[in-house]
Amino acid sequence: MIREFLPDIVSIVIIVVIVVFVAVWQQMTLDVRPRAVMQAPVPAKTSATQPDRKSIFNLAVNDDALKQRNIFAETGSYIVTKKAAGSMAGESYTLLGILGAKERKAVIRDGQGVVTFCSAGKKLGGFVVARIDSTSVVLKSKTETKELRIFNVQYKPPKR
């Protein structure tokens, strides 16, 4: 009977020896050098020049420099110069979507990455939104007309 359970008994004994060895090994110190004794931190003394907490939170923050800086613009300014604006011919627009059924609004992204919601008759750069269809928008200026399509896909009927 012992021969039948001998592999089980040996494996259990090996596991117990490993567990005991690991438990004892964690308590052993392998450092030859003595460890430094940690001392409790000494609280800093408050001086007469150090402000109290209430006065720290009542200080006014001067954030005028932050208000003048536009982190999203290439120039870092909210003022648009003629060079940054470009000409009307160079303006590029992308139609992202059409919203609504009765009163349609177009979602358009310009060349700078600014997304706007436009209804018919709204000015967009040098253009005016003339018409909004279910899949396209017509932009008109004094000299040119642009038609923006969703995904810019044109339907081609299959050949028969």
> What string of DSSP letters covers 76-125?
SSSPPPHHHH--TTT--EEEEEEE-SSS-EEEEEETTS-EEEE-TT-EET
Which regions in the chain score pLDDT beneath 70? 1, 28-63, 65-66, 80-90, 152-156
Q: Supply the pLDDT for residue 124.
A: 87
Q: Supply the pLDDT for residue 54.
A: 59
Tens-place pLDDT, residues 50-74:
666 656 555 555 667 667 777 777 7
Go through the domains of the chain in sequence order and give each one's CATH number.
Answer: 88-152 (2.30.30.830)
Q: Supply the pLDDT for residue 12.
A: 94
